[in-house]
């Protein structure tokens, strides 16, 4: 994996473990020559992650929509910053640049981005691995919801299994490297090709 998109919060949360894991991810990326593509922020989890990679001579590419590009938010000391006109264009740009996606702790934006990546995989538009670093069990209730969706018949188990989960970055990357996209049904293939 040459580049991975990481979605995470513009806050650092109440427990130090979240920022500590963002730092571990940054160190791992830099050590293993994995480029980061992210939302372009200098605050919160995003800032910790980007700063750590830059401190370790890694590659950091920010993709930020113009409406969020103001001095308090946009990182000015990264490898490259790409500014898009709209949020939707940002997602497309990120998608074209990466080999996979990871979510760290975050809010609505993090969930929006990771579920969009999963939906692209479910429809067969992309076949990239999607992972969650489950620091402090942060995503456990979300994962329980997905299991309930399977139980109630709204999500296929094969699609649920697309989401790779670990609480250690080394293990998560190994799962991502070994990821096999599920076979698409003819109905899904027809919808995805429209």
DSSP of 94-149: HHHH-SEEEE-S--HHHHHHHHHHHHHHHTTS----EEEE-GGGTTHHHHHHHHHH
The tokens for 31 are 């050590």
Is residue 42 within 8 A of residue 73, CB to CB? The reply is yes
- pLDDT tens, position by position, 6-25: 999 999 999 999 999 999 99
pTM as predicted:
0.92
Q: Regarding the domain delimited by 3-192, which CATH topology (the fold level of the hierarchy) does it fall under? A: Rossmann fold (3.40.50)
- Checking if the pLDDT of 76 tops 50, the result is yes
**What three-state secondary structure class fits 78?**
coil
Confidence of residue 71 (pLDDT cuts 50, 70, 90): low
Ordered by start, the domain boundaries in the chain are 3-192
């Amino acid at each position: 994996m040459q580049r991975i998109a990481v979605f995470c919060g513009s806050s650092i949360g109440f427990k130090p473990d979240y920022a500590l894991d963002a730092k571990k991810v940054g160190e791992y990326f830099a050590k293993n020559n994995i480029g980061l593509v992210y939302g372009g922020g200098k605050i919160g989890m995003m800032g910790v992650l980007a700063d750590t990679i830059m401190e370790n001579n890694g590659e950091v590419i920010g993709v930020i929509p113009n409406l969020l590009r103001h001095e308090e938010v946009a990182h000015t000391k990264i490898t490259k910053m790409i500014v898009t006109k709209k949020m939707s264009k940002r997602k497309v740009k990120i998608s074209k640049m990466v080999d996979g996606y990871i979510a760290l702790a975050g809010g609505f934006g993090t969930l929006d981005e990771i579920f969009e990546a999963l939906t692209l995989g479910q429809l067969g538009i992309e076949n990239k691995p999607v992972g969650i670093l489950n620091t402090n069990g942060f995503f456990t209730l979300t994962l329980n919801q997905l299991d309930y969706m399977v139980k109630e018949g709204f999500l296929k188990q094969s699609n649920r299994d697309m989401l790779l989960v670990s609480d250690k970055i080394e293990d998560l990357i190994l799962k991502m490297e070994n990821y096999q996209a599920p076979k698409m049904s003819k109905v899904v293939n027809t919808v995805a090709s429209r």
